[in-house]
Structure 1
Amino acid sequence: MSVKFLVAAFLSSTIAAAASAQALTPPIVQPGDGAEDAKLKQLFYDSDEASLKRNPIEAIFRGDLRYADRLGDYLTDEYLAAERTAIEQDLAVLEGIDRGKLTAVDQIAYDVFKNRNETDLAGYAPAIMKIERDLPIDHFQGFQTFYPDFASGKGAAPFKTLVDYENNLKRNAQYAVVLDRAIALFRQGMNDKIVQPKLVVTNMIEEFDNLIAQGIDGSTFYGPVKTFPAGITAEDQARLRAAYAEQIRDVIVPAEQRMRDFLAREYLPVARTTVGLSALPGGDAYYAYLIQQRTTLPMTAEQVHQLGLSEVARILKAMEVQKQAVGFKGTLAEFFTFLRTDKRFQPSSVAQLRDGYQAIEKRIYQRSPEQFSLTPKTKLEIRPVPAFKEKTAAGGSYQGGTPDGSRPGVFFYNSYDLPSRYMWEMETLFLHEGVPGHHFQISLAQENTALPAFMRFGGNTAYVEGWALYAESLWQQLGMETDPYQRMGGLNDEMLRAMRLVVDSGIHAKGWTRDQAIDYMLANSPMARTDATAEVERYIAIPGQALAYKIGQLTIARTKAKAEAALGAKFDPRDFHAQVLDTGSLPMLVLEHKIDAWIAAGGGAAN
């Protein structure tokens, strides 16, 4: 796993957590396991144990605190070498296991492990790694985008004991070191003529300005010492408050200031005016890799682009139907303007957003038993996006909880630029980020202790985001979008994912400009300019990630249609959804093979 993909996993909705604050237990032999199954599970266990030691922040997200006093050697040659060596060693051991002698479930696990490691290994090719290293952070995939919240007392890092507070101080010091390492890598990129676009640099400068402007008492990093759990003495509380304040003043803010000043004074003047990867040396090959890595399918940029154009055309026709349903007399473009500007669609307060999402959650849960026999135990909370990152954050997002219930899953809604947070998009957004989207999929995976750790806590974007987009398509079955404006919101969200195929490939393979991409999105949807701009700048910063949504959704929908046709009256959506969800995140081809086998066995509930 490259550093950039590692940080992206922290920022994405695929973040998950382990069941308890300790290491996973060694593999247990299950009924039906043979010698090859035992070897495979030992490989998974050994690989995971070694990975957690190299990636202590990932361990903390999973509730494993054995290495909680460290951040990791991220952005170093030693880290990259260790990651690559581990992949090569794991694949060598896997090759010595006879797949044909494995149980059906372990064959799936074998395929997922092989696919993941081979894809990750391809990312260590010198030409790809050169770009990865020369562009160490951006405004979506930088440590500054996730770590402050992680260490805030409200994130994944625990603050239950005195040791937790001391460990956080140690990690915070290493956060400052990572920022300095990023500066050195940016300078290498300047020498290689591989630099970020100016707009990405400007966004990063603004992020660091926001963090620095918090001061000491208002710093996100000061959050843990504003309240303390029982058991920490008054003397220790006073000592910790002083230590946190001193570290913020003398270590964290100076490191952020160094990065901010470097970006503004040295890097921005040489940053590029182009925005696509094709403008970089080796950029075309890098984008080709990202397409395969993100979609888990052997698609080309041109195939992605054409698929996007066809989906946009199809959805535009469906939008015309909704326009007629509400009796709007103008053109579709005029209808988009009406949806963007009419005050009836604009929330009057943050509380209205919060209450609205809570009501939507209640309605969905009333109907979910009709579609799902398999549901998570993990609870879900609804919270606003933290203020320091709301400007560049998505309209909604999800962070996984712990299956033991010590930390719930969280649906974050964004209240920045309140007039652009349209009421008509709320139902579809919650279906995607909350229930039955990310919350169901991520929670069910991590609660399934029969799966190896990499399938419980890892994942590929095509499956994770594909499932969430597929969840939006269940609007009718779950009693949502009965109002034509809400249905228009559902189509708008689907249109967003279709446009992503066009715009992402347009930017990185066809030379599209930022403004060209924004104009395309505004012409084909009722998105607000604020959201369209944030979306386009996201595609510029994290190429290829946005492709996975529609590709994954179309794959799941295609397997469902195949199952319905083959099974006829025996088809039960509850059984199908259980099949899709009960083995964690799968590459698309592995998922298709699994559903084919289920169909061949006659369908029905899982044994």
Structure 2
Amino acid sequence: MSFEDTGLLPKALALALMSLSTATPALAQALPPPVAQPGDGPEDARLKRLFYDSDEASLKRNPIQAIFRGDLRYADRLGDPLSDRAIAAERSAAEADLRGLNAIDRAKLTAVDKLAYDVFQNQTQVALRGLSPEIVALTVVRPLDHFYGFQTFYPEFASGIGAAPFKTLADYENNLMRNAQYAALLDAAIVRFRQGMKTGVVQPKLVVRNVIAQFDMLIKEGVEASTFAGPIKTFPTGIAAADQARLRAAYAAQIRDVILPAERRMRDFLANTYLAAARDSVGLSGMPGGERLYAYLIESNTTLPLKAEEVHRLGLSEVSRILGEMEAQKTKAGFKGSLPEFFTFMRTDKRFQPQSATQVRDGYFAIGKRVDARIREQFSLIPKTPLEIRAVPPFKEKTDAGGSYQGGTPDGSRPGVFYYNSYDLPSRYLWTMETLYLHEAVPGHHFQISVAQENAALPAFMRFGGNTAYAEGWALYAETLWPELGVETDPYQRMGGLSDEMLRAMRLVVDTGIHAKGWGRDQSIDYMLANSPMGRTDATAEVERYIAIPGQALAYKIGQLTILRAKAKAKAALGTKFDPRAFHAQVLDSGALPMPVLEAKIDRWIAAGGK
């Protein structure tokens, strides 16, 4: 899972949260000004300067993104994403960027810069629509949910094992300042929630209860066991003993007197005031302005102007197709009952349930070795960024996805991390592991994110930004490479692959069902259980995710189908000249392209003979 997507600041700190998966490089300073490439003319130089100036200004407005990139110039700041001033600044910047872009003659650009022009234009136009007063009024007053909330990412970010560095005394001091701003953001979020209560634009009760549970977990940690105390457990060499003692006292006092009180204020406000005003409905169709917002979210997440009804029909068609493939695997496994009975067997038979978290961890390491042995048969672009496998931190494992990825840095100072979830072990079926690794790790998000950010020739917004349809579409496409990479060789692991693909197909049905057709939580969970072998824990987490972040789940299948369609077109046109390594390089080496831009790029590659 990754969230690199819309650049919508009003969605609770979405810009920062997106960075968790859009991964960014450790630079520790500003990117150097653009350098002319061979063949560049005056218009190319103007375009590159526009990109550079836009990125520099964005990092200053959104310092958390800079920190994820290892750029520490603004590391004492967390940002102010909920203020009217910050939202106006984002809107003004997008308008200025488009004016600057329109002043450049696209026809005079090199082919590479024409591609960059198209991506920048598409992304900025979509972001600007999301910053319109009409959309902001529907998003900023719902600043937290259990998926995209400060509380879902910031504690780990500041824990000493997240993206924030703790190598110097300045790093520790900067974190203290950011922590204070985190507490202030929680109070600012309460103000925004109260505004939404007046307009009727509120979160579902289900989401509010999940957020309350997350704050309960954080508060329960206390001071010494707090996630925020992680940095003072150990110190790097070079920090004097006196400074260590001072920092231990300062961190403990801040957790006790600033962070925990702010988290309690938020928790009590949600439980005692906001919950009663929250809506019983779970879909956006039950919220004032929800239909307008959902239409925007479909386009911003898929990069295509799709209607909810056509997405719903596409999902139903894909579900039907995948059910047929599942029937074939059931027969191959020798199971004599019906497909629903086969699902129940796969959910309940002890042989498919891990006995320990260690077994899960070791299983992923073994899968990684098998994939690595075959990967160069399909890929010529192999990231330099190392990959690490870790368990999801306990404070968020109950509501976190089964697997996720956090990007590393191109200089290797921070690895990419594949997180696996070992909460409720009986539901972490062994038959899910191979396909999950392909999606989140290799050749999924780890390749998609690392290859782009290691390409210093790309403008920063293409190296480090992106959209959900590309990022998640690529990761789902990566799952289809199971035959070439030598995994899913038994019918149960293959059912795991089909189950994951079915999940993405069901998302088209369920997300649109919830937000455009009035489906409820239980109806949505039942639909997922009836059409796949996934367990109730996962189905529940999935449905509650769609409720919290409408539209994001649509991007996976839409993106995968676009890439598969482009691949089929290339194979048909190039015949024996088709090289999967060259195709994959074309898809990966320009970063996360909007779907129309990606299709046009592949068309040009085909016309050039696949070279």
1:240 paired with 2:247, answer yes
Distance in 2 separating the partners of 1:19 and 1:396:
24
Change (3 A) 1:265 1:537: same
1:163 paired with 2:170, answer yes
1:113 corresponds to which of 120, 132, 142:
120
Change (3 A) 1:358 1:11: farther
Distance in 2 separating the partners of 1:103 and 1:481:
43
Distance in 1 separating the partners of 2:107 and 2:350:
62
Distance in 2 separating the partners of 1:14 and 1:20:
17
Identity value in percent:
74
Distance in 1 separating the partners of 2:102 and 2:482:
44
Distance in 1 separating the partners of 2:143 and 2:177:
22
Letter in 2 for 1:547: L
What displacement does 1:98 show? 0.6
Letter in 1 for 2:491: P
Change (3 A) 1:72 1:8: closer
1:481 paired with 2:488, answer yes
1:461 paired with 2:463, answer no
1:585 paired with 2:592, answer yes
SS in structure 1 opposite 2:140? Answer: helix
What displacement does 1:444 show? 0.5
What displacement does 1:11 show? 4.0
Q: Deviations over 1:94-121 (max 9, x none)?
A: 0000111111110000000000000001
Letter in 1 for 2:401: A
SS in structure 2 opposite 1:14? Answer: helix
Q: 1:4·1:137 contact (CA, 8 Å) conserved in 2?
A: no
Match of 1:7 in 2: 13
Change (3 A) 1:393 1:419: same
Q: 1:462·1:588 contact (CA, 8 Å) conserved in 2?
A: yes
Distance in 2 separating the partners of 1:126 and 1:357:
46
Q: 2:11·2:140 contact (CA, 8 Å) conserved in 1?
A: no
Q: 2:385·2:416 contact (CA, 8 Å) conserved in 1?
A: yes
1:57 corresponds to which of 44, 48, 64:
64
Distance in 1 separating the partners of 2:512 and 2:267:
31
What displacement does 1:2 show? 2.6
SS in structure 2 opposite 1:3? Answer: coil
Match of 1:452 in 2: 459
Letter in 1 for 2:420: Y
SS in structure 2 opposite 1:245? Answer: helix
Q: TM-score, normalised by structure 1?
A: 0.99
What displacement does 1:6 show? 7.2
Q: 1:152·1:223 contact (CA, 8 Å) conserved in 2?
A: yes
SS in structure 1 opposite 2:76? Answer: coil
What displacement does 1:271 show? 1.1
Moved over 6 A (4+): none
1:82 corresponds to which of 89, 113, 126:
89
Distance in 2 separating the partners of 1:388 and 1:95:
47
Match of 2:579 in 1: 572
User: Between Structure 1 and Structure 2, how many residues are aligned?
Assistant: 604
Change (3 A) 1:432 1:8: farther
SS in structure 1 opposite 2:214? Answer: helix
Distance in 1 separating the partners of 2:8 and 2:536:
33
Q: 2:64·2:79 contact (CA, 8 Å) conserved in 1?
A: yes
Letter in 1 for 2:374: R
Letter in 2 for 1:571: F
Match of 1:597 in 2: 604
Letter in 2 for 1:309: L
Match of 1:181 in 2: 188
Match of 1:228 in 2: 235
Match runs of 1:41-440 below 5 Å:
41-440=48-447
SS in structure 1 opposite 2:418? Answer: strand
What displacement does 1:10 show? 4.2
Q: 1:14·1:458 contact (CA, 8 Å) conserved in 2?
A: no
Q: Deviations over 1:32-73 (max 9, x none)?
A: 000000000000000000000000000000000000001111
Q: 2:15·2:65 contact (CA, 8 Å) conserved in 1?
A: no
Q: 2:12·2:144 contact (CA, 8 Å) conserved in 1?
A: no
What displacement does 1:9 show? 5.3
What displacement does 1:282 show? 1.0
Q: Which moved more, 1:203-212 or 1:8-17?
A: 8-17
Letter in 1 for 2:456: T
Match of 2:4 in 1: none
What displacement does 1:4 show? 4.6
RMSD after superposition: 0.8
Match of 2:532 in 1: 525
Distance in 2 separating the partners of 1:176 and 1:481:
46
Q: 1:87·1:117 contact (CA, 8 Å) conserved in 2?
A: yes
Q: 1:4·1:141 contact (CA, 8 Å) conserved in 2?
A: no
SS in structure 2 opposite 1:293? Answer: helix
Distance in 1 separating the partners of 2:58 and 2:558:
29
SS in structure 2 opposite 1:594? Answer: helix
What displacement does 1:15 show? 2.8
Q: Deviations over 1:73-105 (max 9, x none)?
A: 121001000000000000000000011111111
Letter in 1 for 2:115: I
Which blocks of at least 5 consecutive residues in structure 2 are unaligned? Answer: 1-6
Distance in 1 separating the partners of 2:388 and 2:576:
38
Letter in 2 for 1:313: S
Match of 2:3 in 1: none
Q: 2:12·2:82 contact (CA, 8 Å) conserved in 1?
A: no
1:553 corresponds to which of 542, 546, 560:
560
Q: 1:295·1:548 contact (CA, 8 Å) conserved in 2?
A: yes
SS in structure 2 opposite 1:154? Answer: coil
Q: 2:458·2:590 contact (CA, 8 Å) conserved in 1?
A: yes
Q: 2:322·2:498 contact (CA, 8 Å) conserved in 1?
A: yes
1:441 paired with 2:440, answer no
What displacement does 1:449 show? 0.2
Q: Which moved more, 1:120-129 or 1:173-182?
A: 120-129
Change (3 A) 1:487 1:10: farther
Letter in 2 for 1:325: K
Match of 2:506 in 1: 499
Letter in 2 for 1:377: K
Q: 1:9·1:15 contact (CA, 8 Å) conserved in 2?
A: no
SS in structure 2 opposite 1:273? Answer: coil
SS in structure 2 opposite 1:410? Answer: strand
Q: 1:396·1:433 contact (CA, 8 Å) conserved in 2?
A: yes
Letter in 2 for 1:508: H
Distance in 1 separating the partners of 2:251 and 2:53:
37
SS in structure 2 opposite 1:481? Answer: coil
Q: 1:345·1:424 contact (CA, 8 Å) conserved in 2?
A: yes
Which blocks of at least 5 consecutive residues in structure 1 are unaligned? Answer: none
SS in structure 2 opposite 1:412? Answer: strand
What displacement does 1:20 show? 1.9
Letter in 2 for 1:589: P
Distance in 2 separating the partners of 1:469 and 1:532:
18
Distance in 2 separating the partners of 1:397 and 1:249:
31
SS in structure 2 opposite 1:217? Answer: coil
Distance in 1 separating the partners of 2:135 and 2:27:
37
Distance in 2 separating the partners of 1:223 and 1:202:
27
Change (3 A) 1:599 1:307: same
SS in structure 1 opposite 2:483? Answer: coil
What displacement does 1:124 show? 1.9
